[in-house]
Chain A
Amino acid sequence: MGIITLEKSDHLFWLGRYTERVHTTLKMYLKSSDRMIDSDPNYYAEYCKKIGITNIYGSRENFVKTYPFDESDPNSIISNLNRAYDNAIVMRDYIGTETMAYIQLAIDDIKTAERGDTPLADLMLAIDHILAFWGCVNDLIDDEQIRNIIKLGKGVERIDLYLSLNRCVSDIQKEYRRMKQFLAKSLMRYDESVLYTMDNMLSQYEFDYMNVRNLLRNLFVVSQ
């Protein structure tokens, strides 16, 4: 292809971010519903607080029933997946029909899970299809730049989520190193001074997670 416009790079980047958000939150959802069975029935409230979404669920049952499925809830998993789809559908010519199909299939999985008798088990199919999507990104997209912009989005989202979920320092450092590789290969414009500050911070044994999140948010704010 060779030519990616600003608008298209944006779609690729957000396709990566939303797909990753769905992937990680789906896994978190399965984990948290397990945790709420006996040890911590109100864990959902803490979860909402951590990832920064409004707790509109009111009860454990309601959270389990609606958080993945409710399309009218902008923070639900399906809403984020729909956003991934919105970014994918306009990029068919860059990522290919075959790759795109896995986002469509994941949407179908979540809808089927909502109607089925074993929603939690059925949701695992959505995770399978998201993984297949990433497989296609690696395998079928020949253009290195396109691939790396999508994966940059994925990397940025993952760090952001890991920071908000309070994952351990070494996990975050590892994801940060990966993200930086994609950043270099994506040829995207970013603020070098922000990256420099982040480099310094993340090379420490301890750092303020909030600060890193803010820096991450400013990484792509580049004056024209």
Chain B
Amino acid sequence: MDGLIKNADTINKLLARYGVKFGIYKNGEFKEQLFPFDPIPRIIDNKEFSYLEKGLTQRVKALNCFLSDIYGRKLIIKDGVIPEEFIYSAKGFLPPCDGVTPPKNIYSHISGIDLVQSKDDNWYILEDNLRVPSGASYPMIARELQRRSTPDTFLNNSVIDNRNYADLLKEVMDYVNTGGINVILSPGRYNAAFFEHSYLAERTGAILTTGSDIVCENDNLYYIDYNGKKQRIGAVYRRISDEYLDPMTFYEDSVIGIPHIFEAYKKGNVALLNAPGNGVADDKGIYYFVPKMIKYYLGEESILLNAPTYLPYYEQDMKYVLSNFDNLVIKDVAEAGGYGVVFGNSLTKEKKSEFIELLKKEPRRFIAQEVIDFYDLDILDNGERVPRKADLRAFVLSNGETKVWPSGLTRFSRNPDSFIVNSSQGGGFKDTWVLSR
């Protein structure tokens, strides 16, 4: 580990060399930034990982069952486990997906589950990301470069190799592929995660495309080469969001989508990873119900804990939220990427009453959570070790069986007072070691 710390600059230089960047818009201008890498890894021993693995597998299985149910028979609503308002007023519930079964009945192929560890050593689920979770490429390439710069570290520690992520991803694409090539659909190089799109394309052998060279004909998707020859596409790992996917079905003004791709999907002629409509399951309001889903679909108790959550929608919870406002963190269910998060105690008196007004007016729009006392991780700040808030995004892949990638993206906040670790807000990342013993 000392070796890693000593060679931190070398690794950061190598990351720059290979273009490990993310894009960010500042004052309306696109800029590429290096994703700051911290050399001190998060270490998860084998026993702990087995526990996480069980819990994550269970959770993702239940979420897939939920999606299949919601866009199918809707038993969970009929049985009164989840109030119908929570489904139908969720922004992520897409009526066009109703009654559509994706290839092999898998909805969330690549799930990014965000967790934090608390001071009492418990892991809590922060949120599920079932639409287009990003970030696996960073620890993947960082590991490659660390092994090059400090091979001894990996000789002396039994760290499970995490560079197989691309193989896992390819297996998933191949499994649901309906006959044809695999492509990765990116909004283009000015997307924040473009590095990841291009790197995963290189590593999985899928073709990177922005959609301009794809046509939909007779309900099949084709990729057109420069002589006009067409090749059928069997699976699209799309990194654009649902609303932009197909201007003929969703957001009509989308210029990055592929017209009629949804019809091809609906007729079973192409697999979309992840399936459109998944937003209903990773909605912050639905999060509250995930342990109930696990019980309902799998007949099991949830292994991993949710952060204690209140729904102002329920009168009782609203009362609790109002009387404990200062101790809670309130999240807007429609926002993501660290936006729309408010800490009760951080508001001025004026702002607070303004906010409470809004909360009372639109209770369904918010959830409130107890602030978890994070177990901080050390980072290196100008050569010194200092504690910072960090979370872990675990990647769970589903292709018939559900697998947890033995690594993950550990993001940290560089600001000592901040809880927000998102790269778009200046956070950095660490490697995540899962030990084989």
Chain A residues close to B by CB (< 8 Å): 1, 3-9, 86, 89-90, 92-93, 96-97, 100-101, 104-105, 108, 187-189
Decide yes or no: A104 and B16 within 8 Å by CB, A8-B226, A89-B194, A90-B189 being known contacts. yes
Task: Give the Cβ gap from B213 to chain A, nearest Cβ, in Å.
Answer: 4
A90 and B213 alpha carbons, distance in the complex (Å) = 14
Q: Interface readout for B326-363 with A: 1 if CB under 8 Å, 0 if not?
A: 00000000000000000000000000000000000000
Task: Give the Cβ gap from B283 to chain A, nearest Cβ, in Å.
Answer: 33
Q: Interface readout for B223-249 with A: 1 if CB under 8 Å, 0 if not?
A: 111110101000000000000000000
Let me know if B16 and A108 touch, CB within 8 A: yes
Let me know if A93 and B198 touch, CB within 8 A: yes
A59 and B231 alpha carbons, distance in the complex (Å) = 56
Report if B202 contacts A (CB, 8 A): yes
Task: Give the Cβ gap from A3 to chain B, nearest Cβ, in Å.
Answer: 5
- Across the two chains, which residue of chain A brings its CB closest to B224? A5
A8 and B210 alpha carbons, distance in the complex (Å) = 11
Report if B19 contacts A (CB, 8 A): yes
Let me know if A104 and B201 touch, CB within 8 A: no
Decide yes or no: A101 and B17 within 8 Å by CB, A89-B198, A90-B189, A93-B202 being known contacts. yes
Decide yes or no: A97 and B226 within 8 Å by CB, A1-B207, A5-B213 being known contacts. no
B213: chain A residues within 8 A (beta carbon): 5-8
Report how many A-B pairs have Cβ atoms within 8 Å. 68
Q: Interface readout for B180-224 with A: 1 if CB under 8 Å, 0 if not?
A: 010000001100001000110110001111101100000000011
Let me know if B16 and A89 touch, CB within 8 A: no
Report if B51 contacts A (CB, 8 A): no
Let me know if B227 and A7 touch, CB within 8 A: no
Let me know if B208 and A3 touch, CB within 8 A: no
Let me know if B212 and A7 touch, CB within 8 A: yes
Let me know if B226 and A6 touch, CB within 8 A: yes
Let me know if B199 and A89 touch, CB within 8 A: no
Q: Interface readout for B123-166 with A: 1 if CB under 8 Å, 0 if not?
A: 00000000000000000010000000000000000000000000
Let me know if A93 and B207 touch, CB within 8 A: yes
Q: Provide the main secondary structure of the chain A interface.
A: helix
Let me know if A97 and B19 touch, CB within 8 A: yes
Task: Give the Cβ gap from B72 to chain A, nearest Cβ, in Å.
Answer: 36
A187: chain B residues within 8 A (beta carbon): 227
4 further contact pairs, Cβ within 8 A, besides A8-B213, A104-B18: A3-B229, A92-B208, A100-B19, A104-B16
A201 and B226 alpha carbons, distance in the complex (Å) = 30
**Which of A89, A90, A97 counts the most B-chain CB atoms under 10 A from its CB?**
A97
B189: chain A residues within 8 A (beta carbon): 86, 89-90
A100: chain B residues within 8 A (beta carbon): 18-19
Q: Interface readout for B15-29 with A: 1 if CB under 8 Å, 0 if not?
A: 011110000000000
Task: Give the Cβ gap from A95 to chain B, nearest Cβ, in Å.
Answer: 9
**Which of A3, A4, A96 counts the most B-chain CB atoms under 10 A from its CB?**
A3
A9: chain B residues within 8 A (beta carbon): 226
B209: chain A residues within 8 A (beta carbon): 5
A103 and B181 alpha carbons, distance in the complex (Å) = 30
Let me know if A96 and B202 touch, CB within 8 A: yes
Task: Give the Cβ gap from B76 to chain A, nearest Cβ, in Å.
Answer: 40
Let me know if A104 and B19 touch, CB within 8 A: yes
A187 and B224 alpha carbons, distance in the complex (Å) = 15
- Across the two chains, which residue of chain B brings its CB closest to A102? B17
A90: chain B residues within 8 A (beta carbon): 188-189, 198, 208
Let me know if A101 and B225 touch, CB within 8 A: no
Let me know if A101 and B18 touch, CB within 8 A: yes
A96: chain B residues within 8 A (beta carbon): 202
A100 and B194 alpha carbons, distance in the complex (Å) = 14
B181: chain A residues within 8 A (beta carbon): 3
A104 and B244 alpha carbons, distance in the complex (Å) = 32
Task: Give the Cβ gap from B31 to chain A, nearest Cβ, in Å.
Answer: 13
Let me know if A3 and B199 touch, CB within 8 A: no
8 A-B Cβ contacts within 8 A?
A3-B223, A3-B229, A4-B226, A89-B189, A90-B189, A100-B18, A101-B17, A101-B19
Task: Give the Cβ gap from B2 to chain A, nearest Cβ, in Å.
Answer: 28
A153 and B225 alpha carbons, distance in the complex (Å) = 19
- Across the two chains, which residue of chain A brings its CB closest to B213? A5
Task: Give the Cβ gap from A133 to chain B, nearest Cβ, in Å.
Answer: 13
